[in-house]
Amino acid sequence: MGNSLHVLFLLAAVTLNCAKSKKRDAPTVTAFCKRPSGLASSAITTSGATVGWTAVLGVSSYTGEYKINTANSWSNAINNTIALSASFNGLSAATLYDWRVKANYASGESSFSNAQFTTAQPPVEESGIASRYPGDVNIQSDPSVLYVEKFDDGMPNILSRYNDKLNTEGMILEDDIPAGSINAKSVKMTSITGGTSGGGHLFKQFTPGFDSVVFVRYYVKYPSSSKNYFHHESVWFGGYNPATSWPDPRAGTCGLPDERLSICCEPTWQNTDPPGMDAYLYWGDMNADASGSNCWGNVMISEGATAYGHPPATGKYPVVKFDKWMCIEVMLKLNKPVTEYNGELAIWVDGVKSGHWGPGFPNGSWDKDKWYNNPADPPFKGFRWRTDQKLNINWLWLEYFHENPQAPSSYIKFSNLVMATKYIGPIKQK
């Protein structure tokens, strides 16, 4: 009994000392104010988590905050609660978060106790065409497949499949291929420092073209030597009317709703580290830049941007994984009839969907040439990709445009390209 009374007297003294530490104008944090302990995280999903802590004797409430580990500012999410747990929602997938909680007393407050958790990785879609053809072996036999390029039959045969070639002497076939790929090679396109050689390309025309839904999946490897010097380095596809056997992007030109359609997913945001990936789109209804008169590629993911006064990136956007193979897949659904805004666009990076835009989804708004998702804004109208039925998907362009004279010599690698009318997905490993 004597020991128990001694403990109670000590606890009472701690509480009283915390209360007496209160200054007239603000709560005071002192060593006498006991902090919460036993911090734990549970029920972690791709977008939320539940956090908890053990009770502290003598507190009146608890206050807590959270933030992405790399962010500077905290979000208040636990407001003077007497509960011993709280839920955080609307989080980014596969992201490390810091969280902290403090105890509020009648006349003072403790310092924060800190903890961390990482949200779950989104599931990789497994139902694509590639899941039925491990290693991409015989994927070309699938009735949904339109075109396959594995770079596996020698440079003369490869070059013969493309209508327009640039800097073929700077192209090399290599055995460096994505994990799980079987009987394929990669093509390495090179550039030489000082602007001597600004890269290369392979352009293929399809006749008569495709007039429905097209998925393009490919693997790309970006070397760290290209950091800070990206221009246009990806696989593009789209349509020209009339069709041509060479690339004719007409960058900077607005409109052309019955003549041009060009889309890709590439390193767009160099103001992030690593650079952010985004869509880069040209079509008839595209939006002009800040000048109001020039139209460069419109972007859709935009989380990599800190442009036009928008806040810093939230960490939700896909980024370049230097010196590693990345799986990129882009889906384009043409609008039918051509008067309607029922076209769609979707992008996957390494099997994880980065965005899907179509008639009525998602909610958001345009800020000049950038789209920003926002649940409080009206739904997306949908794409009117074209105003002429003759403008269909009739070309494919593997581009390495790396012309900056200040850039060091560098390269890009492409492998395992597939075009199809259904979702393809990453290579299925045996």
Question: pLDDT tens digits, residue range 87-114?
Answer: 988 777 778 899 999 999 988 899 999 9
Mean of pLDDT values over 207-222: 97
- State both tokens at 246: 């060479």
Mean of pLDDT values over 221-236: 96
User: CATH 2.60.40.10 occupies which residues in the chain?
Assistant: 2-118
User: What is the 3-state composition of the chain as percent helix, strand, coil, each rounded to the nearest 5?
Assistant: 10, 40, 50
Taking only Cα atoms into account, the Rg of the chain, rounded to an integer number of angstroms, comes to 27
Convert the pLDDT of each residue in 398-412 to its tens digit. Answer: 999 999 999 999 999
Distances (CA, A) of 215 to 181, 209, 396, 423: 19, 14, 12, 6
| pTM of this prediction exceeds 0.85 | no
Window from 318-332, 369-383, 413-427 with minimum mean pLDDT? 369-383
Convert the pLDDT of each residue in 301-327 to its tens digit. Answer: 876 566 777 766 565 678 999 999 999
**Could you tell me what percent of the chain has a pLDDT over 70?**
89
- pLDDT of res. 4: 43
- pLDDT of res. 311: 66
Mean pLDDT, rounded, of the chain: 89
- Residue 70 or 39, more confident: 39
Cα 278 to Cα 355: distance, rounded to the nearest angstrom: 10
B/e letters for 35-73, b = 16+ CB within 10 Å, e = fewer, are bbeebebeebeeeebbbbbeebebbeebbbbbebeeeee
Tokens 């009283």 found at: 16
Contacts of 117 (CB under 8 A, 6+ apart): 41, 44, 49, 51, 96, 97, 99
Cα 150 to Cα 159: distance, rounded to the nearest angstrom: 13
Mean of pLDDT values over 137-164: 98
Distances (CA, A) of 400 to 166, 171, 223, 246, 394: 10, 11, 13, 15, 20
Strand partners, 236: 397
Amino acid code (one letter) for 422: K
- pLDDT of res. 14: 43
- State both tokens at 286: 């595209």
- Residue 217 or 122, more confident: 217
Convert the pLDDT of each residue in 37-67 to its tens digit. Answer: 999 999 998 878 999 999 999 999 999 999 9
DSSP state of 2: H
Position 1 confidence tier, pLDDT thresholds 50, 70, 90: very low
Helix boundaries (H) for 27-146: none
- pLDDT of res. 196: 77
**Exposed, middle or buried: residue 157 (CB in 10 Å: 0-12, 13-18, 19+)?**
exposed
User: CATH 2.60.120.200 occupies which residues in the chain?
Assistant: 129-420
CATH for 129-420 (2.40.10.350, 2.60.120.200, 3.40.630.30, 3.40.50.970):
2.60.120.200
- pLDDT of res. 21: 41
Amino acid code (one letter) for 304: G
Cα 420 to Cα 319: distance, rounded to the nearest angstrom: 25
Task: Provide the CATH number for the domain formed by 2-118 in this structure.
Answer: 2.60.40.10
**Could you tell me what percent of the chain has a pLDDT over 90?**
72
Mean of pLDDT values over 207-217: 97
- pLDDT of res. 56: 93
